[in-house]
Copies of this chain bind each other. A is one copy, B any other.
Amino acid sequence: MPQIRAYGSMSGTSPLAQLTIPRRDVGPTDVKIDILFCGVCHSDLHTARGEWGGVQFPAVPGHEIVGKVVAVGAEVTKFAVGQNVGVGCMVDSCRECESCKSGREQYCYEGNIGTYNGKDHHLGGHTFGGYATDIVVDQDFVLSIADSLPLDAAAPLLCAGITLYSPLRHWGAGPGKKVGIVGLGGLGHMGVKIARAMGAHVVMLTTSPSKAKDAEKLGAHEVLIWSDEAAMRAASKTFDLLMNTVPQSHDINALTRLLKVDGAHVLLGVPPTPYPPLDVGRMIGNRLTVAASTIGGIAETQEMLDFCAQHGIVSDIEMIAMQDINEAYDRMSRNDVKYRFVIDMASLKNVAA
Within 8 A of B (CB), among A270-291: 270-271, 274-278, 280-281, 283-291
**In the bound complex, CA of A133 to CA of B215 (Å):** 61
A76 CB to nearest chain B CB (Å): 29
In the complex, the answer to whether B107 meets A285 with C-beta atoms within 8 Å is: yes
- Residue of B109, B269, B284 touching A293 (CB-CB under 8 A): B284
> A169 to nearest B CB, angstroms?
12
> Given A98-B260, A99-B261, A261-B104, are A284 and B292 neighbors across the interface (CB < 8 Å)?
yes
- Quote the shortest CB–CB distance from A350 to chain B (angstroms): 38
Number of copies: 2
Nearest CB of B to A35, in Å: 27
- Residues of chain B within 8 A of A293, CB atoms compared: 284, 287
Q: Are A287 and B292 in contact (CB under 8 A)?
A: yes
Task: Name which residue of chain B comes closest to A273, CB basis.
Answer: B277
Evaluate contact between A284 and B294: CB separation under 8 angstroms: yes
Q: How far is the CB of A247 from chain B (nearest CB, A)?
A: 11
CB neighbors of B among A129-183 (8 A): 170
Residues from chain B with a CB closer than 8 A to the CB of A267 are 280, 283-284
From A170, A260, A262, A267, name the one whose CB has the most chain B CB atoms within 10 angstroms.
A262
B292 touches A283 (CB 8 A): yes
Q: Chain B nearest CB: distance from A253 CB in Å?
A: 10
1/0 per position for A96-122, CB-CB distance to B under 8 A?
Answer: 001100001001010000000000000
Inter-chain CA distance A4–B269, complex, in Å, is 58
What residues of B have a CB within 8 angstroms of the CB of A262 in the complex?
104, 107
Residue A349 at the chain B interface, CB threshold 8 Å: no
Given A286-B107, A292-B287, A278:B280 Cβ within 8 A: no
Whether the Cβ atoms of B283 and A291 lie closer than 8 Å is yes
Given A109-B261, A294-B287, residue A275 in contact with residue B277 (CB < 8 A): yes
Tell yes or no: A211 within 8 A of B by CB.
no
A237 at the B interface (CB under 8 A): yes
The smallest beta-carbon distance between A240 and chain B, in angstroms, is 11
**Contacting pair A294 B289 (CB below 8 A):** no
| Residues 54-109 of A contacting B (Cβ, < 8 Å) | 98-99, 104, 107, 109
A289 near B289 with CB under 8 A, answer yes
A28 CB to nearest B CB, Å: 30
Shortest CB-to-CB span from A43 to chain B, Å, is 12
- Per a CB cutoff under 8 Å, which of B261, B285, B286, B289 touches A290? B289
Is B277's CB under 8 angstroms from A277's CB? yes
Q: Which of B170, B269, B274, B292 contacts A277 (CB 8 A)?
A: B274
**Contact at A290–B291, with CB atoms within 8 Å?**
yes
When the two chains form their complex, are residues B275 and A278 in contact, meaning their CB atoms are under 8 A apart? yes
A sample of 7 more A-B contacts (CB under 8 A), given A278-B278, A284-B292, A290-B291, is A104-B261, A104-B262, A109-B237, A270-B281, A270-B284, A274-B277, A287-B294
- 24 CB-based A-B contacts, threshold 8 Å: A98-B260, A104-B261, A104-B262, A104-B287, A107-B261, A107-B262, A107-B287, A109-B261, A267-B280, A269-B280, A270-B281, A271-B280, A274-B278, A274-B280, A275-B277, A280-B292, A283-B291, A284-B292, A284-B294, A287-B292, A287-B294, A288-B291, A289-B289, A290-B290
The 4 closest A-B pairs by CB, nearest first: A274-B277, A283-B292, A284-B292, A107-B261
